[in-house]
Structure 1
Amino acid sequence: MRQQCRGQRVTETRSYSHREILKILSGLVLALLTSMISTSVVGTALPAIVGDLGGQDQLSWVASAPLLTMTVSTPLWGKLSDLFGRKLMFQLALVVFVLASMAAGLSQNMAELISARAVQGLGVGGLSALTQVILGDIIEPRERGRYAGYTGAAFGVSTITGPLIGGFIVDADSLGWRWCFYVCVPLAAVAFVVIQKALKLPRVRRDARIDWLGAFAITGGASALMIVLTLGGKQFAWNSPWTYGLGALSAALLALSIVAERRAREPILPPRLFTNRTFVFSALASLFVGVTLFGALTFLPQYLQIVKGMSPTMSGLTTVPMVVALFLASVGSGRIVTGTGRWKVFPLAGLLLVAVAMLLLSGLNSNSGRLVVGLDVAVLGLGLGLCLQILILAAQNGAKREDMAATTAGVSFFRSLGGAMGVAAFGAILTSRLNAEMAGMLRAAGAEAPVDGTRLGSPEAIRRLPEPFHGFVLESFARAMETVFMVGVPIALLGFLSVLALKELPLRSAAAPAKARPLAEGDPANVS
C-alpha cells in the first residue's frame, strides 16, 4: 500500500513474516539486554572503582548519572525517530552507547567515568524506548504479545543479572572492573549488524522541526527532579535549600513545557496524550511498577550481602528464581495475549503478586533460609513479568498510529521516573529506620557506637565492626528492610487500581484495525 502524509514523500509500507520479525527481534533484544545490563552491572564494581580511581565523595554519581540521562532523554528519542526514522535513531543510540562504554572503561579519573556514564545513559534511553516503538511499527497489537514478552524478559533479566555479572567480573583476577563496560561492546556490535541487515523500514523525508523550547523545558524539568530524587538525603539533606531550589526549578520548567507543547507544531509529548485515558493510566501503573521494581532490586542485594553475609556473586545467584519466573511470566503472558486478545487480567494479577511479594519480603530476617528467600523473589519475578510489557502494549493499542513513538517513550519515561522515585524513597526510609533502630538498641544496651558505627557502610566494613555493634547493625538493618518492603505493598496496590481504571480495548490486528480509527488512504499509520 502506498501512503502519503504532509511533509513526507510517498513511501512503500510492508508487512513482515514471522521469520523476519524473529531476526529483527533478536537484534532488538540483544541491544536492549546489553544496554540495560550496563546500567546495573556497575553496582558491585563500585568498591573496586573507588579503590582504583579514588573519589569516594563522587561515588553516587557513577550510578546516578546514567539513570538521570536515560530518563530525561527517553521522550526526545521518540520524537527524533518520528522526524528522522526509527532505524537511524536506533543505530545512533547504539553507537552512542558503544562509544560511551569504551570511554567508561578507559577512564583515568572519576570525572571522566561520570561523564562517560552520563553519555552511556543517553544511548540506553534511546535503545529502551525505540525497541518498543519499532515493535509497534512492524507488528499489530494482537500479534505483538508473542514477541513483546521477550523484550520484557530482557529488561527484567538484565536488571537482575547485572549485579551477578559484575560480581563475577570483579572477582576474576584476569578481568577487573573495566571489563564491566567492555563486555557490552561486542554484543552491541553484533546487534548493530543484525538490525542493519534485518530491519527494512521505509525511508522517510519530513520537514524536520524540532521543538527546542519543549525539549529544553522537559529535559530541564525532569533533570532537576531526578537530581533531587537521586541525590536528596545523600549529597544534601531533604530539608535544605538545594531540595527546595531544585524542586522550584523543576516545577517552573515543567510548567513552561506545558505552554511550549501546546504551541509547538511537532511537540515532544503531545498534550493530547494526556487526554487519552489509556495512556494516562498505563503511565501511572508503569510509574508504580518502576517504584517497586527498582526499589526492590536496589535494596534486596544489600539485605543478602549485609544481613545474610553473602558475596556479590552469591547474592546474584540467589535472585536466579526471580529471573526464571520473570522470563516465564513475560513470555507466557505474551503468547496468551496473542491467542486470546485479552490483556487486562495479566497486569492486574501481576500487581497483586508484586504486593504479595513485597509483603513476603518484609518478613525476611537474619534467620530466613535461602529457600524462603528464593520463593519470595520468585513471586516478585512472576508479578513483574506479567506487568512490564503488557502495560506498554495497552498504551500502544489505545494510541493513534502517529502517536506511537510519543506514547511508547512516554510510558517508558514514567517507568524510569518511578524507578528513581523508588530508589530515593526506599533509601530515605531505610536510612531513617536504620538510624532509629540502631539508636534504640544502643540506648537499651547503655553503649556508645564506634566512629561511623551507625552509618550504613559497605558489607565488608560492617563485618569488621566489633560486637555487640555488629549484631546491632544486622538487626537494625533487617528491621529497616522490613519497613522498606512493607511500603512497597500499598504502592503496588496503587498500580493495581490504575490498571483497574483502564478500559480493555480490543487489540488491533492487521485483519481488523481499530474501529475507532479505521485506516484510510493517506493515513500515516505505517510510515516510520
Structure 2
Amino acid sequence: MTETQRKIAFLVCLVTIVLAVLDMQIVSAATVPIVRDLDPDHGIDKIPWLVSAFSVASAAVLPLYGKLCDVLGAKRVFLGAVGTFLLGSALCGAARSIGQLVAARAAQGVGAGGLMSVTMVVIAQLRGPGERDSKGAGMGGIVSGGGMALGPWIGGLLSDHASRRWIFYINLPLSLAVLILAACVLKLPRHTADRSIDFLGAGLAAAFSTALLLVTEWGGKEYAWSSPQIVFLALASAAALGLFLWRQVTAAEPILPLSMFRVRELRWGFAIQGLVGAALVGALYYVMVYLQVARGVASSSAGLYLVFMAVGMTAAGVVTGKLAERGRPERAFAISGSAVTAVAFLLLATTGSDTSL
C-alpha cells in the first residue's frame, strides 16, 4: 500500500470505530421513544431485550471473528462485518413491532461484533514496524468520548423531531462509504491456511449467554424464581457453560484458548474489561431511562447529560496516550481508572426522584 492508501485506510478504520460507538449511543437516548411508539403499554419493560439481543449476538460472534481473520484474511472479514451491520441497521429501521426490532437488533449485533474487533486487527496490520500502540489507545479514548457526546444528542433529536427509523437509517450512508473505501484501498495479507473453525464452541457460548439472559429477564417477573421454567433454564445455562469449557480444552482450534488465562495480565485485564463494560452499558441506559421516565426530560435534552462523561473519556484518552508514549506504565491507568469508576458508580447509585439534575 502507498502512504496515501494507508492514511485513507486509517481514516476508514476511524470512521468504523465512530460507527460502532455512535450506534450504541444514538440508540441509548432514543430507546424510550422507540419502545413507546412500538408498544405504548409495555414497551418500557422490554428495553432490556433490545439491549441484550444486541449484546448477546455481538458477544457470541466475537471469538469467531478473530479466527475468521486468521483463515480468510482481515479484509474480507472486515467487509463482511460492515455489510452485516448495514443489513441489520436497515432491518431495525423497517421493524414494525418490538419482536421484529429485537430480532433485527440481534442481526445488527452480529455485524457490530466485528466493527470494533476486526478494525483493531486491520489497524494492527496497517501500523508500521516502529509505531507504538499508545497512539491508537489515545485515539480510541478520544473517538469514544466524542461518540458518547454526540450520539445521545443526535438520537434524541431524531426521535423528537424525525422518525424513529432514522435512528437506524443514519448508519446506512456511513456503512456504505466504509465498504466502498475499504474495498478500494485495503491491501492486506490473504490467509489461506487450512485451519478449522470452532462453530460448536461459538454455539455453546451463545446458548450459555441466551439461557442466562432468559433467567435474569424472566426470573421473578414472568415466572417465580423457583418455577420449573427458571430452574430448567438455570441448569441449561450451567450445562452449556460446562460443555463450552470442555470444548475449549478438547478442540483442535478453540475460539477461546483457556491457556490465555494463565497469563496474569490477560486474566486480570479480561476481568476488569468485563466489569467496566457491563457497568458502562448498564449506566448509559439506566441514566437515559431515569431522565426520560422518572424526571420527564425530553430525549434530545437527556442526551446532553452524557456530555460530561464524554469530556472525561476524551480527556483521559488524550492524557493517558501521551503518558504512555513517555513510558508511563499502563497498569497505573487501569488501577486509577477502575478506582475512579467505582466511586462514580457508588455516587450514581444514590440517585432518586428528587436528586438535583
* Unaligned runs of at least 5 residues, structure 1: 1-13, 371-528
Whose helix fraction is larger, Structure 1's or Structure 2's? 2
Larger RCO: Structure 1 or Structure 2 (Cα < 8 Å, ≥ 6 residues apart)?
2
Task: Tell me the SS of whatever aligns to 2:281.
Answer: helix
Deviation at 1:287, TM superposition (A): 1.4
RMSD: 2.8
Deviation at 1:314, TM superposition (A): 1.4
Q: Provide the C-alpha distance between the structure 1 equivalents of 2:356 and 2:130, rounded to a whole number of angstroms.
A: 43
**Alignment counterpart, residue 215 of structure 1, candidates 202, 215, 221:** 202
1:193 corresponding residue in structure 2: 180
Deviation at 1:215, TM superposition (A): 2.4
> Is structure 2 residue 159 aligned with structure 1 residue 164?
no
> Is structure 2 residue 245 aligned with structure 1 residue 258?
yes
Query: Counterparts of 1:106-125 in structure 2 under 5 Å?
Result: 106-125=94-113
Deviation at 1:291, TM superposition (A): 3.0
Q: What is the aligned residue count?
A: 353
Task: Tell me the SS of whatever aligns to 2:133.
Answer: helix
Give me the identity figure in percent. Answer: 32
TM-score by length of 1: 0.61
1:206 corresponding residue in structure 2: 193
Deviation at 1:366, TM superposition (A): 5.5
Query: Counterparts of 1:20-99 in structure 2 under 5 Å?
Result: 22-50=7-35, 52-54=37-39, 59-60=46-47, 61-99=49-87
**In 1, are the aligned partners of 2:26 and 2:151 still within 8 Å (CA)?**
yes
CA deviations on 1:262-316 (whole Å, 9 max, x unpaired) are: 2222211112212222211110111121232123222223343355442222121
Q: Provide the C-alpha distance between the structure 2 equivalents of 1:363 and 1:108, rounded to a whole number of angstroms.
A: 37
Deviation at 1:122, TM superposition (A): 0.4
Q: Provide the C-alpha distance between the structure 2 equivalents of 1:68 and 1:335, rounded to a whole number of angstroms.
A: 34
Query: Counterparts of 1:366-377 in structure 2 under 5 Å?
Result: 368-370=355-357
Cα 1:280–1:112 change in 2 (3 A) is same
* Unaligned runs of at least 5 residues, structure 2: none
Q: Provide the C-alpha distance between the structure 2 equivalents of 1:141 and 1:322, rounded to a whole number of angstroms.
A: 33
Deviation at 1:153, TM superposition (A): 3.7
| 1:34 counterpart letter in structure 2 | L
2:123 corresponding residue in structure 1: 135
Cα 1:230–1:87 change in 2 (3 A) is farther
Q: Provide the C-alpha distance between the structure 1 equivalents of 2:200 and 2:103, rounded to a whole number of angstroms.
A: 25
CA deviations on 1:320-363 (whole Å, 9 max, x unpaired) are: 12112211211331232123252111111111211232233345
Q: Provide the C-alpha distance between the structure 1 equivalents of 2:318 and 2:6, rounded to a whole number of angstroms.
A: 16
Deviation at 1:33, TM superposition (A): 2.1
Deviation at 1:133, TM superposition (A): 2.7
1:302 corresponding residue in structure 2: 289
Q: Provide the C-alpha distance between the structure 1 equivalents of 2:187 and 2:330, rounded to a whole number of angstroms.
A: 29
**In 2, are the aligned partners of 1:304 and 1:315 still within 8 Å (CA)?**
yes
Q: Provide the C-alpha distance between the structure 2 equivalents of 1:23 and 1:148, rounded to a whole number of angstroms.
A: 19
- State which drifts further: 218-227 or 123-132: 218-227
Cα 1:149–1:210 change in 2 (3 A) is same
**In 1, are the aligned partners of 2:248 and 2:255 still within 8 Å (CA)?**
yes
| 2:84 counterpart letter in structure 1 | V
TM-score by length of 2: 0.87
Q: Provide the C-alpha distance between the structure 2 equivalents of 1:270 and 1:38, rounded to a whole number of angstroms.
A: 30
1:416 corresponding residue in structure 2: none
> Is structure 2 residue 341 aligned with structure 1 residue 354?
yes
Deviation at 1:125, TM superposition (A): 0.8
